[in-house]
Structure 1
């Protein structure tokens, strides 16, 4: 384990007054700085911590306006990096996240195996029965959409807020562009992929008590779906056309064009044949079917390439190597 003054914890604080002191008390000695970010909390949780917490590691930061969980986390990131933190862990203040797991989240980063670690509540299939059904359904939908938009096909549970990040990777994040509200965790994955950062899941169990989830299914199927679609096209442009060109850069657009041609051509002639009550000629069927088959094959080839292209070499190790040889 590296020197403890290199590990910081960020706790966004909003309506968690009942739990946050216990959360802070559970943070082990491996952490030297704890940043409680009061996101304009109506319960004055920042003042509550300042008045009742004697832990010298704790620093309270207060927002004058509510910025959402993402805004609070990014404020904590900035403060931790300014104080020289090497790894920054983010946990919630509502007691759902077991602080004893912090060493497990920072271990892959310290070992040079990851730039960003995140919790995965779906690893233990027996334990997920404790998850409320609506939350389980929402997370399953979000996981699929996040895989597609972020390019991290090997991670799950994208809305899990238990995370850790290497400061060298955090410095390259476009703080002004990252979503501030409930889309924060998913948007972080998209931004990290465009940097080529390595993301690793850490198995964990969730604790559900008397807290109320603010994640609504309506957001999943409307707002989140639109944002995932936007990020998907951005990622395609960044990774396959702006920064790099490969065979996959040709496979996807060609496959989509062939699929569209086959569908439009086939549907047009099928409708025309049905209108006149005659069978569609075999040649016409082949002209529609062949582009469809080729289109599907090309799109599948692109997906296979995209899945295999998940970043494997940690970004912070590349940065360290560059610094040593500058």
Structure 2
């Protein structure tokens, strides 16, 4: 009898879906309608929406699984998601799914999204719209270019070198992982999903991609590249420095740590020694001596080799064993 109850619990985790909403009155009801029975509760967070999305859902959504939360002001998609996470945890969620209310994500893919977590192969799963070429053809060119650039920056700042499409908002996280996240430190705006990956990296959580195809129709994007570009660049720079410090000097110290320090020192010496002499040669017309060239170039060559060795180690350091089974 006890074995049967245990198996049933493992086979039927408590899944809670979180839908952050801002100007989503044209799509959110359809999104909720297509969320399958595998989800036990649906948390809709009205993030100070001027269209009163929360009121619309309250009046016109017959789904009894729905819980509606409201922000008095627009705090950002990250803040709305965190509010939803906290409510989901209060509802006893084993797995929390985050799906946007704009209709670009197919709720029927939720079973695929949560499967790696249920099977014990991941702590966090996110959608990847770039896995299939035929899906990429449906995507606006500017979005493809921007995502490629942001994906590389995210690899550097998070340490998850094998993932792509970092701003994808279709995600699932194990409840035990969500409980230990520092919500007060996570970005509250559009940088939220990317900052989540950095935070998960510091926990050494396993992150997996799930192939998906986005649905593009007449929805309006509230994301303005010019408005968020500086936020993303500064955020990635800060997270990259923090990740390196935490992973290689604060919580661990390996040969890779030494390689990184030496590569920086050698690069610095080669540049600071070589650049002034290069300008001096241009001004005077007198070529630098062979010794000066070697003294400037050799540290840079050695620094490059050490940096490549460090990056090779960093590539292989991506977490492979989920941590949620060991959490209580």
Give the TM-score taking structure 2 as reference length.
Answer: 0.95
Which residue number corresponds to residue 45 of structure 1?
A: 53
Residue 307 (structure 2) pairs with residue 299 (structure 1): yes
Which residue number corresponds to residue 76 of structure 2?
A: 68
After alignment, is 217-226 or 74-83 more displaced? 217-226
Residue 128 (structure 2) pairs with residue 128 (structure 1): no
Assess if the C-alpha contact under 8 Å between 2:13 and 2:95 holds in 1. Answer: no
Assess if the C-alpha contact under 8 Å between 1:141 and 1:220 holds in 2. Answer: no
Residue 93 (structure 2) pairs with residue 85 (structure 1): yes
Q: Aligned to 1:157, which of 149, 165, 172?
A: 165
Unaligned runs of 5+ in 2: 1-7
Residue 27 (structure 2) pairs with residue 19 (structure 1): yes
1:163-202 alignment runs, 5 A limit: 163-202=171-210
Assess if the C-alpha contact under 8 Å between 2:190 and 2:228 holds in 1. Answer: no
1:181-260 alignment runs, 5 A limit: 181-219=189-227, 221-260=229-268
Residue 145 (structure 2) pairs with residue 137 (structure 1): yes
**Other structure's SS at 1:126 match:** helix
Deviations 1:162-217 (A, max 9, x none): 00000001111000010010000000000000011100000000111112223333
Q: Tell me how far apart the structure 2 counterparts of residues 13 and 176 of structure 1 sit (CA, whole Å).
A: 20
Residue 63 (structure 2) pairs with residue 55 (structure 1): yes
Q: Tell me how far apart the structure 1 counterparts of residues 159 and 131 of structure 2 sit (CA, whole Å).
A: 20
Residue 297 (structure 2) pairs with residue 289 (structure 1): yes
After alignment, is 274-283 or 179-188 more displaced? 274-283
Assess if the C-alpha contact under 8 Å between 1:67 and 1:180 holds in 2. Answer: yes
Q: Tell me how far apart the structure 1 counterparts of residues 116 and 13 of structure 2 sit (CA, whole Å).
A: 18
Q: Tell me how far apart the structure 1 counterparts of residues 130 and 229 of structure 2 sit (CA, whole Å).
A: 21
Displacement of 1:153 after TM fit?
0.5
Q: CA RMSD in A?
A: 1.3
After alignment, is 270-279 or 14-23 more displaced? 270-279
Q: Tell me how far apart the structure 2 counterparts of residues 216 and 41 of structure 1 sit (CA, whole Å).
A: 18
Deviations 1:137-179 (A, max 9, x none): 1111110111100111110000000000000011110000100
Q: Tell me how far apart the structure 2 counterparts of residues 212 and 138 of structure 1 sit (CA, whole Å).
A: 18
Displacement of 1:271 after TM fit?
2.0
Q: Aligned to 1:104, which of 112, 116, 133?
A: 112
Displacement of 1:299 after TM fit?
1.0
Displacement of 1:237 after TM fit?
1.2
Assess if the C-alpha contact under 8 Å between 1:5 and 1:31 holds in 2. Answer: no
Assess if the C-alpha contact under 8 Å between 1:161 and 1:185 holds in 2. Answer: yes
Assess if the C-alpha contact under 8 Å between 1:5 and 1:33 holds in 2. Answer: no
Distance 1:119 1:310, change over 3 A: same
Which residue number corresponds to residue 313 of structure 1?
A: 321
Displacement of 1:101 after TM fit?
0.3
Q: Tell me how far apart the structure 1 counterparts of residues 166 and 272 of structure 2 sit (CA, whole Å).
A: 36
After alignment, is 273-282 or 192-201 more displaced? 273-282
Q: Tell me how far apart the structure 2 counterparts of residues 313 and 75 of structure 1 sit (CA, whole Å).
A: 28
Which residue number corresponds to residue 287 of structure 2?
A: 279
